[in-house]
């Protein structure tokens, strides 16, 4: 079936989803969770086929681990659906409302987008997560996963569609697109009018392609060249802890710190301590000349280093002469994801927060906190680094639009 | 100067605007208003040059009227800036906030987009309005008006820039792009990273071009193929009044009704009355076969008529057998702008509101109410017909993004 035909079916399903009550949608989410558990054997069989193909294709151990399912992981994925069912329904929320001077009653109400396309990496749990988040927010999902997870995704989506239909909603609320060809991505990007929003998740090149070529509105996610700035007035023990946590708590996430900026006034006191901590943690430091003066282990940083989202045990380090210089550096190299300051100075924190243009600004906290789960949203479809519509972690409300409902009694202008 | 260079200067100005207080911004708006009044003669001289060129080029009387300024109109434009100064500042508004279980303080705060590009038609008042709305919301404006208003816009922007600079903000907060060539539109559409959002106002073909070609995020405005559906349970006197007001109160606006759907059960009682009213108002009715049976004056409607935004004294009319058929017709032909139902039936109103997918749904009220002024927003940059970011009339908050500010005390994950 062509992507356009799948998108048309999704539109039909979206009409039913838009008027489905929370009770019905939550019942569907529970049915999806129960079905995943009940049909775990067929899911694991399909996953085994992907793993075998992946091993043959020479995928790395890390990639294979992200791809792998077992009974416990399937149960965890099912539990995530049950947790979504417990979240409030964003649809129908009155965002704004008033009675106008002429007596017209004005309400701005959250409504689903309609059809949401998601392009994502080889993690089968995202298939279920995305399907669940879309369904809860009243949207039909067009899922374009990775070819490396094709068997797993097909099995998961078959289970989910049966459960959705069994709960009285259209099976076409959840559809998997052909992952064997790039054509499905192209068709999806051109399905303006049928697909309401496209969310690319994954590497910088995929995101760039979609942003450049899509006529369907896009919510850009992901690339995070996040900085920690250690201010002249920083508590240095906290600064070491926040810096190391931001870099090492998990290496491969978009909210991981990739660059450290140190105020010259505390460089002597701070850099030896943090360089020692990085050495202990196995992190390679790519430093400018001033940072390199503090340790022979520092690798000279190029300008390119300061633009690099390493996603590995590497960090770039520069010494700056002022908060102003730190802000300028972040403006030049940041990607608008998460920027952190460590300082005990209230004026410094205030200025950094006001002047740094990013989805999230941390004061005396790890960059790793930019996360829908950490923020208490309960579910997350990605972290937006654009300014339009949604910025930062996107939960259920970010998967909705609004509609003005205006009620009168024969009102005329 | 190239658009890219202008966009770079706008970025610099945007940094200052983002941290400008409401006091400073409102003072600038008042200075802009005062300067427009004080320097009216030079503005009118420039406008006279545009009008002379327009007459020579054979522009219609209606277009020349939209282009024309006089002392009263300039005073009115200046007053609109003073009214903007009286509106609350959207920047800094805390949209959401909580203390997380671990003690982290989370705030989601409105921030300006940064640089906003606006492409618009030949109305000089839009130049001032757009500059004012952008400044109040902390954004630098790149204005690409019509070549037919080039002299007027140059004079207005010169006055505004002097006033902005005199109030202590960067003059480059307001910049006019070259309107003599389409290249400036192309460059604007490709200035991703320098321009944060692009708002095309004007005809369907301009909007389509921008949506297709822009890599800068776009907010689509404008095209309104708006319907009035007269339900079986309508109060027919109200139905005639709402229909005629929706069509005729102003012919050339995007919230003007272009199509009337009549439930078959009330066609005999309603159509003769509304057709007589349209005849009195000089409106040509393009009807389907069932509507045509009620008057010889009805012109046969083609399928294309039902897709047409006339913006003139024309309306398409169809008789439908049910609310369901009306919703289906609107799904097929509507542009998601404004759709109205006239009914005294609560279930019918509820169903119509729930199932019709549009920026605004009117119950027993004229489609003409979809308007920032009517909604009480105080200022409007356009009416969005897209679902992402803003839908319906866009006021000051719709010209902002948000930023998460997370404050801790050395918090780690």
The tens digit of pLDDT for each residue in A146-165 reads 999 999 999 999 999 999 99
How far apart are the C-alpha atoms of B202 and B88, rounded to whole Å?
28
DSSP lists the bridge partners of residue A286 as A299, A316
Instruction: Give the pLDDT of residue B121.
Output: 86
Residue B252 has pLDDT above 90, yes or no: no
Strand-strand pairing, A94-99 and A105-112: antiparallel
Residue B352 in contact with residue B323, Cβ under 8 Å? Answer: yes
> In chain A, which among 34-93 make CB contacts under 8 A with chain B?
none
Torsion, Cα B360 B361 B364 B369, to 10 degrees, reads 10
How far apart are the C-alpha atoms of A354 and A230, rounded to whole Å?
17
How far apart are the C-alpha atoms of A227 and B62, rounded to whole Å?
56
Interchain CB contacts (distance < 8 Å): A and B: 206
Instruction: Give the pLDDT of residue A207.
Output: 85
Q: Which residue has the higher pLDDT, B208 or A157?
A: A157
Residue B212 has pLDDT above 90, yes or no: no
Residue to test with chain B: of A219, A336, A408, most B Cβ within 10 A: A408
Kindly state the tokens that stand for B18.
């983002």
The residue assigned the tokens 């052909």 is: A178
Mean pLDDT of B313-329: 98
Nearest C-alpha neighbor of B80 from the set B407, B384, B386, B373: B373
Strand-strand pairing, A400-411 and A105-112: antiparallel
CB contact (8 A) between residue B411 and residue A19: no
Kindly state the tokens that stand for A57.
């294709």
What ipTM was assigned to the predicted interfaces of this complex?
0.95
Instruction: Give the pLDDT of residue A315.
Output: 98
How far apart are the C-alpha atoms of B139 and A197, rounded to whole Å?
26
Length of chain B: 413
Q: Which of B217, B245, B413 shows the shortest C-beta gap to A249?
A: B413
Describe the crossing of helices A346-355 and A323-333 by its angle, rounded to 10 degrees: 20
**Proportion of chain B above pLDDT 90, given as a percent:** 92
Chain B residue numbers touching A392 (CB-CB < 8 A): 108, 402-404
Kindly state the tokens that stand for B309.
């935004």
How far apart are the C-alpha atoms of A131 and B3, rounded to whole Å?
42
Q: Which is it for the CA torsion A46, A47, A50, A55, positive or negative?
A: negative
Residue B259 in contact with residue B306, Cβ under 8 Å? Answer: yes
How far apart are the C-alpha atoms of A47 and A59, rounded to whole Å?
15
- Residue A312 DSSP SS3: coil
Kindly state the tokens that stand for A240.
């070491």
Residue B268: which H helix or E strand, with range? Answer: helix B267-280
Nearest C-alpha neighbor of B262 from the set B301, B288, B298, B299: B288
Instruction: Give the pLDDT of residue B351.
Output: 97
How far apart are the C-alpha atoms of B226 and B242, rounded to whole Å?
13
| Exposed e or buried b per residue across B47-73, where buried means at least 16 C-beta atoms within 10 angstroms of its C-beta | beebbeebeeeebeeebbebbbbeeeb
How far apart are the C-alpha atoms of A131 and A141, rounded to whole Å?
6
Q: Is B33 exposed, middle or buried (0-12, 13-18, 19+ CB in 10 A)?
A: buried
Mean pLDDT of chain A: 96
CB contact (8 A) between residue B413 and residue A366: yes
How far apart are the C-alpha atoms of B115 and B179, rounded to whole Å?
19
DSSP lists the bridge partners of residue A360 as A338, B404
DSSP annotation of A95: E
Residue A355 in contact with residue A322, Cβ under 8 Å? Answer: no
Interval B10-59: pLDDT, tens:
999 999 999 999 999 999 999 999 999 999 999 999 999 999 999 999 99
How far apart are the C-alpha atoms of B357 and B333, rounded to whole Å?
12
The residue assigned the tokens 């003059």 is: B171
C-alpha distance from B127 to closest chain A C-alpha (Å): 23
Split at pLDDT 50, 70, 90, the class of B222 is confident
Q: Where are the beta strands (DSSP E) in B154-289?
A: 174-176, 197-200, 226-230, 257-263, 284-287
Split at pLDDT 50, 70, 90, the class of A280 is very high
Instruction: Please tell me if residue B94 touches chain A, with a CB cutoff of 8 Å.
Output: no
Chain A residue closest to B248 (CA)?
A413
How far apart are the C-alpha atoms of B129 and A283, rounded to whole Å?
53
Split at pLDDT 50, 70, 90, the class of B379 is confident
Residue A89 has pLDDT above 80, yes or no: yes
CB contact (8 A) between residue A358 and residue B104: no
- Residue A319 DSSP SS3: strand
Give residue B328's region: left, alpha or beta (phi > 0; psi -120 to 50). alpha
Residue to test with chain A: of B369, B372, B394, most A Cβ within 10 A: B369
Instruction: Give the pLDDT of residue B206.
Output: 86
Split at pLDDT 50, 70, 90, the class of B205 is confident
Residues in CB range of A314: below 8 A, 6 or more apart = A258, A283, A284, A285, A286, A308
Lowest mean pLDDT, pick from A108-117, A154-163, B179-188 = B179-188
Residue B143: which H helix or E strand, with range? Answer: strand B140-144
How far apart are the C-alpha atoms of B368 and B250, rounded to whole Å?
8
Instruction: Give the pLDDT of residue A205.
Output: 84
Nearest C-alpha neighbor of A292 from the set A316, A325, A322: A316
Chain B residue closest to A327 (CA)?
B15
Kindly state the tokens that stand for B271.
């159509």
Chain B residue numbers touching A355 (CB-CB < 8 A): 15, 18-19
Phi, psi of B92 (to 5 degrees): 95, -10
CB contact (8 A) between residue A212 and residue B211: no
Residues in CB range of B25: below 8 A, 6 or more apart = B17, B85, B89, B135, B136, B138, B169
How far apart are the C-alpha atoms of A393 and A166, rounded to whole Å?
32
The residue assigned the tokens 């309603």 is: B270
Instruction: Please tell me if residue A392 touches chain B, with a CB cutoff of 8 Å.
Output: yes
- For chain A, domain boundaries: 3-220+386-407, 226-369
CB contact (8 A) between residue B219 and residue A359: no
| Exposed e or buried b per residue across A23-55, where buried means at least 16 C-beta atoms within 10 angstroms of its C-beta | eebbbbbbbbbebbeebbeebbebbeebbeebe
Chain A residue numbers touching B104 (CB-CB < 8 A): 365, 369, 374
Strand-strand pairing, B257-263 and B382-384: unpaired
Chain B residue closest to A341 (CA)?
B407
Residues in CB range of B345: below 8 A, 6 or more apart = B231, B232, B233
Strand-strand pairing, B226-230 and B257-263: parallel
Beta-carbon neighbour count of residue A363 at 10 Å? 22
Split at pLDDT 50, 70, 90, the class of B223 is confident
Instruction: Give the pLDDT of residue B207.
Output: 86
Instruction: Give the pLDDT of residue B221.
Output: 87
How far apart are the C-alpha atoms of A210 and A186, rounded to whole Å?
9
How far apart are the C-alpha atoms of A67 and A54, rounded to whole Å?
9
How far apart are the C-alpha atoms of A372 and A379, rounded to whole Å?
6
Q: Which CATH architecture has domain A226-369?
A: 3-Layer(aba) Sandwich (3.40)
Residue to test with chain B: of A351, A369, A371, A377, most B Cβ within 10 A: A369
Nearest C-alpha neighbor of B82 from the set B42, B28, B127: B28
pTM of the model: 0.94
Instruction: Give the pLDDT of residue A204.
Output: 80
Kindly state the tokens that stand for B140.
């630098």
DSSP annotation of B241: H
Residues in CB range of A115: below 8 A, 6 or more apart = A7, A10, A11, A14, A139, A140, A142, A194, A195, A196
Rg of chain A over Cα atoms, rounded to whole angstroms, equals 24
Domains A3-220+386-407 and A226-369 share a fold: no
Q: Which CATH architecture has domain B3-220+386-407?
A: 3-Layer(aba) Sandwich (3.40)
Residue A285 in contact with residue A311, Cβ under 8 Å? Answer: no
**Proportion of chain A above pLDDT 70, given as a percent:** 100
Instruction: Please tell me if residue A333 touches chain B, with a CB cutoff of 8 Å.
Output: no
Give residue B202's region: left, alpha or beta (phi > 0; psi -120 to 50). left
Nearest C-alpha neighbor of B215 from the set B245, B180, B189: B189
Chain B residue closest to A389 (CA)?
B389
Residue A103 in contact with residue A409, Cβ under 8 Å? Answer: yes
**How many Å separate Cα A381 from the centre of its chain?**
5
Length of chain A: 413
Kindly state the tokens that stand for B300.
């046969």
């Amino acid at each position: 079936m062509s992507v356009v035909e799948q998108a048309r079916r999704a539109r039909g399903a979206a009409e039913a989803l838009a008027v489905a009550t929370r009770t019905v949608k939550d019942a569907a989410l529970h049915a999806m969770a129960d079905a995943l558990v009940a049909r775990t054997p067929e899911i694991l069989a399909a996953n085994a086929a992907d793993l075998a193909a992946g091993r043959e294709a020479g995928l790395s151990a890390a990639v294979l681990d992200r791809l792998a399912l077992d009974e416990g992981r399937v149960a965890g994925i099912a539990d995530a659906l049950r947790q979504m069912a417990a979240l409030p329904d964003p649809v129908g929320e009155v965002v704004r409302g008033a009675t106008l001077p002429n007596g017209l009653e004005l309400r701005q109400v959250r409504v689903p987008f309609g059809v949401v396309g998601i392009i994502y990496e080889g993690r089968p749990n995202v298939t279920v997560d995305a399907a669940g988040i879309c369904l809860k927010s009243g949207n039909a999902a067009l899922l374009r996963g990775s070819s490396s997870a094709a068997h797993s995704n097909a099995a998961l989506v078959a289970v989910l569609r049966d459960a959705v239909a069994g709960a009285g909603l259209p099976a076409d609320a959840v559809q998997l697109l052909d992952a064997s060809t790039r054509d499905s991505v192209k068709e999806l990007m051109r399905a303006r009018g049928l697909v309401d929003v496209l969310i690319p998740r994954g590497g910088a090149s995929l995101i760039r392609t979609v942003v450049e070529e899509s006529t369907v509105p896009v919510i850009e996610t992901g690339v995070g060249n996040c900085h920690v700035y250690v201010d002249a007035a920083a508590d240095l023990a906290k600064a070491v802890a926040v810096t190391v946590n931001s870099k090492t708590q998990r290496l491969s996430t978009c909210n991981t710190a990739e660059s450290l900026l140190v105020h010259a006034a505390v460089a002597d006191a701070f850099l030896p301590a943090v360089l020692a901590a990085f050495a202990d943690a196995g992190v390679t430091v790519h430093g400018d000349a001033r940072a390199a003066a503090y340790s022979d282990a520092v690798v000279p940083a190029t300008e390119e280093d300061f633009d690099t989202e390493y996603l590995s045990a590497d960090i770039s380090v520069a010494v700056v002469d002022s908060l102003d210089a730190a802000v300028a550096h972040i403006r030049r190299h940041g990607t608008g994801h998460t920027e952190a300051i460590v300082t005990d100075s209230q004026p410094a924190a205030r200025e950094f927060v006001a002047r740094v243009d990013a989805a999230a600004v941390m004061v005396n906290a790890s960059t790793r906190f930019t996360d829908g789960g950490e923020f208490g949203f309960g579910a997350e479809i990605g972290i937006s680094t654009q300014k339009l519509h949604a910025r930062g972690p996107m939960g259920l409300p970010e998967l909705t639009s609004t509609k003005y409902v205006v009620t009168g009694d024969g009102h005329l202008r």
